[in-house]
A and B are shown apart, each in its own frame.
Chain A
Amino acid sequence: DAGITQSPRHKVTETGTPVTLRCHQTENHRYMYWYRQDPGHGLRLIHYSYGVKDTDKGEVSDGYSVSRSKTEDFLLTLESATSSQTSVYFCAISRESAHEQFFGPGTRLTVL
């Protein structure tokens, strides 16, 4: 199994509070991704990174920001959480050109 961990695994927070989710990999892969999973929508890309300090937006990036200061860590921040951001968040990594993505265990976030 690819070495990907996510923390926390579960979180309950209140509307308006900042939240940071962490993805950590031990594979030294260049590409990292954040997805959210909602019933009836599959997985949708929030942000991705193609190197340290190199990030870009996905299809559902509003209300989210990311940072990648080290190859192994990719942080997802909700500056001011809203109830619509209640979801399961997955981090994924991929090698340079294989396009196969390996997923972390997911974080269930509930915004009350």
Chain B
Amino acid sequence: AQTVTQSQPEMSVQEAETVTLSCTYDTSESDYYLFWYKQPPSRQMILVIRQEAYKQQNATENRFSVNFQKAAKSFSLKISDSQLGDAAMYFCAYSDRGSTLGRLYFGRGTQLTVWP
């Protein structure tokens, strides 16, 4: 079974600084999707960014970017110019592209605190 590991239960960053959240995964598949979801105190799960394994280029969405290292099975999220609104729990997730069911496997999350 696929597993997703987030080794940092908590992280903190000063406003306007940059922070990187780590994620590793284990799979025998070669084609898959990776995601970062954000869960603020409102509890709503919000998709932040998505990476397709067959694409070499790292995905970016405004201040959010990923460092995807396929051989190392690593998928880190970089948040630039951190804002107070970035404070949330962040979940890394994996989905097997070959599966039409599209189920997600989640890590346990990293709680990000942003200091003013």
Partner of A90 from B45, B47, B108 at Cβ < 8 Å: B45
Is B68 in contact with chain A by the CB < 8 A criterion? no
Min CB gap A38→B, angstroms? 10
Kindly list chain B residues whose C-beta atoms are within 8 Å of the C-beta of A58: 103
State whether A105 touches B44 (Cβ < 8 A).
yes
Cross-chain pair count, CB within 8 angstroms: 55
Kindly list chain A residues whose C-beta atoms are within 8 Å of the C-beta of B33: 99-100
Given A41-B108, A88-B43, A106-B43, the answer on whether A97 and B103 have CB atoms closer than 8 Å is no
How many residues from B make CB contacts under 8 Å with A? 21
Main secondary structure of the interface of A (DSSP, over half): strand
Given A31-B101, A50-B101, the answer on whether A102 and B106 have CB atoms closer than 8 Å is no
A92 to B45, CA, bound (A): 10
Can you name the residue of chain A whose Cβ is closest to the Cβ of B44? A105
Given A40-B108, A41-B108, A42-B91, the answer on whether A103 and B103 have CB atoms closer than 8 Å is no
How many residues from A make CB contacts under 8 Å with B? 26
A65 to B77, CA, bound (A): 36
Can you name the residue of chain B whose Cβ is closest to the Cβ of A96? B100
State whether A33 touches B103 (Cβ < 8 A).
yes
Given A88-B43, A106-B43, A106-B44, the answer on whether A101 and B106 have CB atoms closer than 8 Å is no
Partner of B35 from A48, A96, A100, A106 at Cβ < 8 Å: A100
Kindly list chain B residues whose C-beta atoms are within 8 Å of the C-beta of A96: 100
Min CB gap A98→B, angstroms? 8
Task: Give chain A's interface residues, CB within 8 Å of chain B.
Answer: 31, 33, 40-45, 48, 50, 56, 58, 88, 90, 92, 94, 96-103, 105-106
Task: Give chain B's interface residues, CB within 8 Å of chain A.
Answer: 4, 33, 35, 37, 43-45, 47, 50, 91, 95, 97, 100-104, 106-109
The 9 closest A-B pairs by CB, nearest first: A103-B45, A42-B106, A99-B102, A99-B95, A42-B108, A43-B106, A99-B33, A106-B43, A94-B102
